Amino acid sequence: MITGTLFPASQDNGESADCSCYEEYQSITDFGSISIVGPLDSDGYGCEKTCTIYASSGDSTKGLTNLWLAFTPNAGSSSVVIKNDDGSTFVKSSQNSDSSSPEYNKITTTENITITINGDTGVTIMGEMIAADTLGTTTTTPSTTTTTTFPPSPGLRENPKTMAHDIMFAIDVCGTNNKLKEMGKIASDIAGKLSVSVLDSTEAPIYQSRLALTRLTPFGNFAPLAPPWTLTSDGLSKSVLHLQAFPRKCNFTSTLKSAIDTSFNIAGNYPSRPNAQRTILLLTSGLPSDEDNFKDMESDFSGDDVHLVVVGYTLTDKAAKFYNSTTWLSFYSTNTVSTNDIFNNYLLDGNKYCSFTVCSPKSDKNAQCKDLSDGRVSCGVNGTSVSFPSNYMGPQDKGQSDWKANNGQIGRYCNFQNIEYSFSEHLSNITFTIYYDLEVERDFLKVYDGKKEIISLTGKDVSGTKFTASINTRIVFTSDSREVFGGYYIKVN
């Protein structure tokens, strides 16, 4: 609990005198703990104002720890940002924190810290920290070339902790409470297998996933159970326990459109990361009330580069046929709460639900690409061009100097991809020109003459890498678990 007496700070920075900050300067030696109190009006209610607290452990050999935070009734648009004296961010939070939270046992790396509280009308913010026995250690975020090794996961093609998605769980609460409870178990199990960050789009590590959770209700309103991208795995598991079922069909379209606009736009209220794969995992035990509108949502998802995976739990044949016939989404039907197939077939296999390769000219049958399954594509060579993903936005000749949408909102490939192109219908050497935008030293286009690797491309090239190869040429694209970029365009002469 917070101890000590709180006094209004004298400054108001030109803002309304009815909204005041408290205790601008604090030290452990004064009260025994640091009190974190958001701005309050004269009636004791939270108000909209930014307050800064300069706090100290009172000892140059000790940091501050045991962060406790409470946002009442919820965080709204408020937040608390704590920085060490060297300017590094200790924590940024818009959710309650207690002894079960990952940040609770963290220790600041400096004696003095700065606490910035961004208040919101009607939100009361309270918290505290105490002195630690030592200073915290400095940690460095691994660079894009650092490899984080996780042990194999039995029954899974990759360890899910390597995933780096912005993934929203959208749970259809229309049906029975028993089915809703089982779908909650599926969501909890998936979230529990991930390595999760609660930091914002500019600070979240590129090797971790972020979580969001919303309900699909009969009313069609976007009702996230916490501010998007602020949930831990445990937080999501606790939230799904409180879901209640409605005995009628739910409206999907309005909620999903709002979810995409709010949470998956890189300039939205809760922005997605520009180079993170974006996924909505929709769990349902029935059909939506707005079937036709839902089937027409392809452009809503592709417009912000969001991939939809529908997990149907104990569906009727009619419902399963409805989702299975909606070709722009990925559909998985199950009668159990096991999640291994969801990981293996979708979340850990980008070939299954990322955009398909586009070959041109489509009018020339010798230039067509033929999908041979398992990520293998056979292409003709008579003027063939190959682009990936299907909404590729980059250069196709020297006249275009960069990607049309290089901000990362659209036109990106997926994680965990492995696509092999073979070129046929020719009797002599082939000349290739390749434009590409790939994650540096992690995602590659490799060119093989038979089994021998002759060229390896990574990073970005807008001017076109040109080379001549033999009649046995194969080009293989691979992506790892982290960031996703603009893809590639292969021109064959």
pLDDT at position 384 is 76
Residue 275's identity, in one-letter code, is N
pLDDT at position 398 is 78
pLDDT at position 78 is 83
Proportion of the chain above pLDDT 90, given as a percent: 50
**Average of pLDDT values for 108-133?**
89
pTM over 0.85: no
Summarised one tens digit per residue, pLDDT across range 321-331 is 999 999 899 99
Instruction: Look at 80-94, 207-221, 350-364, 438-452 and tell me which has the smallest mean pLDDT.
Output: 350-364
Q: How far apart are CA 391 and CA 358, in angstroms?
A: 9
- Most confident option among 95-104, 180-189, 387-396: 180-189
Number of neighbouring beta carbons within 10 Å of residue 186: 22
Instruction: Identify the residue whose tokens are 């606009």.
Output: 261
Burial of 9 (0-12, 13-18, 19+ CB in 10 A): middle
CA angle, 205 then 207 then 210, to 5°? 70
Between 37 and 44, the more confident residue is 37
Say yes or no to pLDDT of 11 above 50: no
Q: How far apart are CA 285 and CA 180, in angstroms?
A: 8
| Closest to 158 measured CA to CA, from 406, 348, 320 | 348
Summarised one tens digit per residue, pLDDT across range 331-374 is 999 999 999 999 999 999 998 878 667 766 554 444 456 665 56
Proportion of the chain above pLDDT 70, given as a percent: 87
pLDDT at position 280 is 98
Reported as a pLDDT band with limits 50, 70 and 90, residue 319 is very high
Q: How far apart are CA 474 and CA 482, in angstroms?
A: 25
Say yes or no to pLDDT of 428 above 90: no
Reported as a pLDDT band with limits 50, 70 and 90, residue 73 is confident
Reported as a pLDDT band with limits 50, 70 and 90, residue 288 is very high
Residue 117, H or E segment? strand 112-118
pLDDT at position 144 is 36
Domains 17-135 and 154-348 share a fold: no
Q: How far apart are CA 51 and CA 370, in angstroms?
A: 61
pLDDT at position 403 is 78
Q: How far apart are CA 109 and CA 136, in angstroms?
A: 4
pLDDT at position 99 is 80
* CATH architecture for segment(s) 154-348: 3-Layer(aba) Sandwich (3.40)
pLDDT at position 41 is 84
**Average of pLDDT values for 23-36?**
77
CATH class as words, domain 17-135: mainly beta
CATH number of 362-492: 2.60.120.290
pLDDT at position 412 is 93
Summarised one tens digit per residue, pLDDT across range 272-284 is 999 999 999 999 9
Reported as a pLDDT band with limits 50, 70 and 90, residue 1 is very low
Tokens of 164: 């780096």
Instruction: Look at 221-230, 345-354, 378-387 and tell me which has the smallest mean pLDDT.
Output: 378-387
Summarised one tens digit per residue, pLDDT across range 171-218 is 999 999 999 999 999 999 999 999 999 999 989 998 899 999 999 999
Instruction: Look at 79-83, 102-106, 443-447 and tell me which has the smallest mean pLDDT.
Output: 102-106
CA angle, 407 then 408 then 409, to 5°? 100
pLDDT at position 377 is 79
Burial 380-407 (b: 16+ CB within 10 A, else e): bbeebbbbbbebbbbbeeeeeeebeebe
**Mean pLDDT over the full length of the chain:** 85
Tokens of 353: 């639900």
Asked if 22 and 6 touch (Cβ cutoff 8 Å), the reply is yes
Say yes or no to pLDDT of 141 above 50: no
Say yes or no to pLDDT of 476 above 70: yes
**Average of pLDDT values for 402-429?**
81
Cβ-Cβ contacts under 8 Å for 225 (sequence gap 6 or more): 213, 214, 215, 231, 239
Q: Where are the domains of the chain?
A: 17-135, 154-348, 362-492
